[in-house]
A and B are shown apart, each in its own frame.
Chain A
């Protein structure tokens, strides 16, 4: 077979991971990456660290300047995709040009959801490098910042702005924060810790119904009747897959682009990975979104293998995250809220703001939540993914999570060699 041409839309973690994997497998196919942004590749996960001032832009560059030459790949920056023609295997760009492909990988990531009324009133969003640059301009001479949204992006940004010296508060539309990762109890501990560090978090604000620019700032009215008056409002309500350009291409889209366990869409030579992909999850195999960095890297790797002709199956995604705020650490891996029939073990010490919870079923670990616990979260993930039988040791695991999880991992690894 002659050289084929792989086209990758996007240049984030999933895209780079796919590129690297094709090369690792010895593929000499042509690879071209097209990204709408005009910066050296970076991960949006590092943007809050620029806001806080801990890092400089040059620190977060993901790969060296000569990386794409080394990888024998082409990177086109600052070009948006308008549409995809899957029949003639062609991608059309906003500048009128187009590219053909043998294999296409859509790794376009996600985009923030911001209500129109807020956009018009000058509320900011925080998702990509341009948003960061615009935000820093806006921050000059203005101190009061409000974050709308109790998700991870909003909470991390609040911490970063606080470190930068701004007066920050968080308003969450619903009755809980960080719902995807933490239960209500841990959520309330986190809110307490935020308050202790000078960042008030208030809940139940509901939807925005009215907003307008007012002098140097912004005013908003909510469905619950609450009113807001602040200098800068940053909307961090949520993200959705960036799929607009794929409309009408024949590629099946639900919320994101639907893919199977080899990251293939319904069109045989079109793949998707990362935030944009709706892929099978680990526990049920049902398709769903999991817009986090480790998932993007893993899916990119699976896509890259399959694009290069090595069939590799995805084990499915797990929700997980780790959140460092004011020196406290909250970590969640797998299930955070038990279903009917699950077994739950909890250890806590509110005085020290320490909390451990594990959820299991039939002796297998399904999920764990930790607040200020000395534990290696990756090892917990291992125990879940390898479906290690923890039944005789679950009491011990919750008592000494770090040591016992490591020991269970070592034993499981040993059994792989000596069954």
Chain B
């Protein structure tokens, strides 16, 4: 069954609230004072006994049980914005909604005989901005789900346990649809895309070439399809080793020629498939098999090459960074890349932790992605023809140690080395912020000059 009306929803990171903080709830009470005194649509839960600190809020369900049960028809789900609202004038105050909602989304005031719930502040929820710990965010589900196509991948694909590549490829195929040709290389993604030995795990045409030939092969494919008059999107899907090192020259060339295809680089910060060797995007301090930790060396001695920035400097129609913890952001960027492909070159750099090569738990990849964003280690941004914009800003950045402690390739780092890595993160972000200041027409023309 397909539900037609999708609603933006509030996402709350579980158990990440600050102990004793109730800023969201207080803000809600303040905002809703006039409509419903003393009530909040969001509730904080602090249970020190089980070390749980979180908040709950209405899910704006697709089939709201509260609306189904309401005996006076006071609760409805809007067909326009998907928000589930209570018409206070029609509300009997019987409390059946609170008896029925399984998720604690209804606030029932027995004394006043009224029910109250989150109405997302009609699309601009005030609780989001007051959260001191970036726990609450508004997820634009509608924009994302409307565009999803059928998944082109089979179940049970042959990636390592916990590898983000599976989800990356599935969402890519769901967003871009069936009329897609993928160009790839021998790499982590090859077992599934190329289907070594047993056949492929997907229904998309796949062109496999050497790392040095990806961008130039894609160029040829695009021109062929143009010649036969067929609108097929060509998508290069390679690791960082191919994009930043081995296949960099053709990539840079294709960007400079402004070829009409999408290039997606999944960045696992090294040659993970061939034995965990360093690449030019391996970060400072990281241990790999070619930058080992010992008497003579302490991991990689130089910082990572910032590939997405370099591609952005080609002043192509679209460049963005993305990661799986911020899925709706990723999907929006895929949609934008698909749109901009018609004008020319589009590039998305996807941060992709490697459980095997980095030494992370196989169930923590998404957590690592999220922490990379929250520490500003991997800022989310996009650049359209050199005009930069941060697509997600972090109100209270976590120290880099919150990120490095999740990953074994950093575990040897001393305080001083960690400080150096933090400095690296800070200066990268500062540089990016400077770039965003060149927004607008003026920035564009001065950069061209």
Which residues between 65 and 100 of chain B lie within 8 Å of chain A, taking CB atoms?
65, 68-69, 71-73, 89-90, 92-100
Report B84-123 CB contacts with A as 1/0, cut-off 8 Å: 0000011011111111111110101011010000000000
Q: Write out the residue numbers on chain A whose beta carbons fall within 8 Å of the beta carbon of B102.
A: 378-379, 381-382, 385, 409
Instruction: Name the residue on A nearest B112 (C-beta).
Output: A327
Asked if B1 is at the interface of the complex by the 8 Å CB criterion, the answer is yes
Asked if B149 is at the interface of the complex by the 8 Å CB criterion, the answer is no
Asked if B442 is at the interface of the complex by the 8 Å CB criterion, the answer is no
Known interface pairs A410-B14, A410-B54; A297-B68 also in contact (CB < 8 Å): yes
* Contacting pair B96 A55 (CB below 8 A): no
A393 CA / B68 CA spacing, docked (Å): 32
A25 CA / B3 CA spacing, docked (Å): 10
Known interface pairs A62-B71, A403-B47, A407-B50; A24-B99 also in contact (CB < 8 Å): no
Known interface pairs A24-B1, A46-B94, A54-B93; A409-B104 also in contact (CB < 8 Å): yes
* Contacting pair B49 A396 (CB below 8 A): yes
| The residue from B50, B90, B95 contacting A59, defined by CB atoms under 8 A apart | B90
Q: Write out the residue numbers on chain B whose beta carbons fall within 8 Å of the beta carbon of A337.
A: none
Asked if B46 is at the interface of the complex by the 8 Å CB criterion, the answer is yes
* Contacting pair B104 A376 (CB below 8 A): yes
* Contacting pair A13 B14 (CB below 8 A): no
A26 CA / B47 CA spacing, docked (Å): 44
Asked if B52 is at the interface of the complex by the 8 Å CB criterion, the answer is yes
Asked if A63 is at the interface of the complex by the 8 Å CB criterion, the answer is yes
| The residue from A297, A301, A379, A404 contacting B47, defined by CB atoms under 8 A apart | A404
Q: Write out the residue numbers on chain A whose beta carbons fall within 8 Å of the beta carbon of B94.
A: 45-46, 49, 322, 324
Report A374-392 CB contacts with B as 1/0, cut-off 8 Å: 0011110110010000000
A59 CA / B71 CA spacing, docked (Å): 10
Q: Write out the residue numbers on chain A whose beta carbons fall within 8 Å of the beta carbon of B54.
A: 407, 410
Q: Write out the residue numbers on chain A whose beta carbons fall within 8 Å of the beta carbon of B432.
A: none
Q: Write out the residue numbers on chain A whose beta carbons fall within 8 Å of the beta carbon of B101.
A: 376, 378-379
Asked if B437 is at the interface of the complex by the 8 Å CB criterion, the answer is no
Asked if B45 is at the interface of the complex by the 8 Å CB criterion, the answer is yes
* Contacting pair B363 A418 (CB below 8 A): yes
Asked if A108 is at the interface of the complex by the 8 Å CB criterion, the answer is no
Asked if B56 is at the interface of the complex by the 8 Å CB criterion, the answer is yes
Asked if B202 is at the interface of the complex by the 8 Å CB criterion, the answer is no
Asked if A224 is at the interface of the complex by the 8 Å CB criterion, the answer is no
Instruction: Name the residue on A nearest B96 (C-beta).
Output: A293
Asked if B333 is at the interface of the complex by the 8 Å CB criterion, the answer is no
Asked if A61 is at the interface of the complex by the 8 Å CB criterion, the answer is yes
Main SS at interface, chain A = helix
* Contacting pair A321 B72 (CB below 8 A): no
Minimum CB–CB distance from B100 to chain A (whole Å) comes to 5
* Contacting pair B50 A62 (CB below 8 A): no
* Contacting pair A409 B103 (CB below 8 A): yes
Q: Write out the residue numbers on chain B whose beta carbons fall within 8 Å of the beta carbon of A218.
A: none
A373 CA / B47 CA spacing, docked (Å): 17
Asked if B233 is at the interface of the complex by the 8 Å CB criterion, the answer is no
Which residues between 1 and 37 of chain B lie within 8 Å of chain A, taking CB atoms?
1, 14
Known interface pairs A63-B73, A294-B99, A377-B99; A324-B113 also in contact (CB < 8 Å): yes
* Contacting pair A378 B72 (CB below 8 A): no
Stretch binding the partner chain, chosen from A76-84, A252-260, A281-289, A328-336: A328-336
Asked if A135 is at the interface of the complex by the 8 Å CB criterion, the answer is no
* Contacting pair B110 A328 (CB below 8 A): yes
Minimum CB–CB distance from B111 to chain A (whole Å) comes to 5
Q: Write out the residue numbers on chain A whose beta carbons fall within 8 Å of the beta carbon of B97.
A: 378
Q: Write out the residue numbers on chain B whose beta carbons fall within 8 Å of the beta carbon of A45.
A: 71, 92, 94, 96
Asked if A128 is at the interface of the complex by the 8 Å CB criterion, the answer is no
Known interface pairs A46-B92, A324-B93; A407-B45 also in contact (CB < 8 Å): yes
Asked if A414 is at the interface of the complex by the 8 Å CB criterion, the answer is yes
Instruction: Name the residue on B nearest A20 (C-beta).
Output: B68
| The residue from B43, B46, B72, B89 contacting A46, defined by CB atoms under 8 A apart | B72
Asked if A17 is at the interface of the complex by the 8 Å CB criterion, the answer is yes
Minimum CB–CB distance from B228 to chain A (whole Å) comes to 38
Report A306-340 CB contacts with B as 1/0, cut-off 8 Å: 00000000000000111010011101010000000
Which residues between 19 and 59 of chain A lie within 8 Å of chain B, taking CB atoms?
24-26, 42-43, 45-46, 49, 54-55, 59
Asked if A164 is at the interface of the complex by the 8 Å CB criterion, the answer is no
Q: Write out the residue numbers on chain A whose beta carbons fall within 8 Å of the beta carbon of B73.
A: 60-63
* Contacting pair A381 B99 (CB below 8 A): yes
A217 CA / B354 CA spacing, docked (Å): 84
Asked if A400 is at the interface of the complex by the 8 Å CB criterion, the answer is yes
Q: Write out the residue numbers on chain B whose beta carbons fall within 8 Å of the beta carbon of A382.
A: 102-103
Q: Write out the residue numbers on chain B whose beta carbons fall within 8 Å of the beta carbon of A60.
A: 71-73, 90, 92
A45 CA / B435 CA spacing, docked (Å): 62
A63 CA / B69 CA spacing, docked (Å): 13
A317 CA / B103 CA spacing, docked (Å): 19
Which residues between 373 and 390 of chain B lie within 8 Å of chain A, taking CB atoms?
none
Instruction: Name the residue on B nearest A310 (C-beta).
Output: B1
A13 CA / B67 CA spacing, docked (Å): 12
* Contacting pair B71 A379 (CB below 8 A): no
A67 CA / B113 CA spacing, docked (Å): 28
* Contacting pair B69 A297 (CB below 8 A): yes
| The residue from A24, A376, A418 contacting B98, defined by CB atoms under 8 A apart | A376
* Contacting pair A13 B71 (CB below 8 A): yes
* Contacting pair B50 A396 (CB below 8 A): yes
* Contacting pair B110 A377 (CB below 8 A): no
Known interface pairs A54-B93, A376-B101, A410-B14; A294-B69 also in contact (CB < 8 Å): yes
| 16 A–B contacts from the bound complex (CB under 8 Å) | A17-B68, A43-B71, A46-B71, A55-B72, A59-B89, A293-B96, A301-B68, A322-B95, A329-B108, A331-B99, A376-B106, A378-B100, A396-B50, A400-B47, A407-B54, A409-B104
Can you name 15 extra interface pairs (CB under 8 A) apart from A55-B72, A378-B99? A17-B68, A42-B71, A43-B72, A54-B113, A59-B72, A59-B89, A60-B92, A293-B96, A322-B96, A328-B110, A333-B99, A377-B99, A379-B102, A407-B54, A410-B14
